[in-house]
Amino acid sequence: MREYILATASTADLSPEYMKEHNIPFIPYTFTIGDKVFVDDCTEETKAMIYREMRNGKIVGTSAITEYAYYEFFKQLMTTGKDVIYVDMSRAISSSIQHAEMAANRIRKEFSDQRFYFLDSFCITGGLNLFFKQLVRRHEEGASYEELIEWGEAHKREYIHRFTVDDLSWLRRGGRLSNASAIIGTLLSIKPEIYVTNDGKLVSYSTKHGRKKVIHALVDSMKEDLADYSADEEITVMHTDTLKDVEWLIGLIRETYPQLKDAEITVTTLGPTIAAHVGPGFMAVVYHGTQRIM
């Protein structure tokens, strides 16, 4: 069977240790604080630094990966002589994806005797993380190139994302909320429940007054699309510098759903690219579900 490479981007929020262990190449996003440019190397040190700067009132900027950067990354993979499957976050969320597709088209022409597949995960951060880990597991178990693509396309919308933010001003800065809505929402302590839809878009489907109520709502809403859990699956709780709330959230999940009492629930810190748009206090619960309800 012809060998192939699985690759992704830093926005999958995989740890450097995991990527080294499983030989996963990734392309890093960059971010700015003031006039300084930083590379998202997926380390906890970089994440801690950006959280600290945001809590100190610094504005963090992000930019799309250029077509040229994608091209150089893809070319490096293809020169190994292996086929490639590249998995990235939803095109509906990131403008970078268009650049990736343009670079992929160029690569296919230059390496016509090899295969390059761009797999839009229709996921973001923790969802991409869980989805990609399942692809890696199947790859290492011997799935063929065609089998892995078929499985990925069939199951990518089964990864459920439910999250909330603590400070609406970060959504306003990112252009995802009007200034007036952010001000009113902050004054009234309104916390949104946000969901990733079947077409990979972000929607706010409900709001609650106060942090405690919205966390309860996130857990309660899991019953709408929670799948039967098997031993090889995990739930991921993502956060930006709010570990105390995360511990409470995990306890609430286990208390509410007896079938998850012994489930593997991992805690992952959010990388700079998405953290820059949601700010400190972000929390998400991501899991394998039956199907997305929107």
pLDDT in tens, 234-289: 889 999 988 889 999 999 999 998 888 888 899 999 999 888 888 888 889 998 88
Q: What is the CATH number of domain 158-288?
A: 3.30.1180.10
User: What is the pTM for the complete model shown?
Assistant: 0.89
pLDDT over 50 (residue 178): no
pLDDT over 90, % of the chain: 52
Closest alpha carbon to 240 in 211, 278, 207: 278
pLDDT over 50 (residue 187): no
227 compared with 28, residue with greater pLDDT: 28
pLDDT-derived band at 21 (thresholds 50, 70, 90) equals very high
Of 33-47, 180-194, 202-216, which has the strongest mean pLDDT? 33-47
pLDDT-derived band at 134 (thresholds 50, 70, 90) equals very high
Residue 188: other Cβ atoms inside 10 A: 11
Average pLDDT, the chain: 86
The pLDDT value given to residue 190: 62
The pLDDT value given to residue 17: 97
The pLDDT value given to residue 214: 86
pLDDT-derived band at 231 (thresholds 50, 70, 90) equals low
The pLDDT value given to residue 173: 54
The CATH T-level fold of domain 4-156 is: Rossmann fold (3.40.50)
pLDDT-derived band at 70 (thresholds 50, 70, 90) equals very high
pLDDT over 70 (residue 230): no
pLDDT over 50 (residue 166): yes
- Domain locations along the chain: 4-156, 158-288
The pLDDT value given to residue 277: 83
Least confident segment among 71-80, 100-109, 193-202: 193-202
60 compared with 24, residue with greater pLDDT: 24
Residue 274: other Cβ atoms inside 10 A: 24
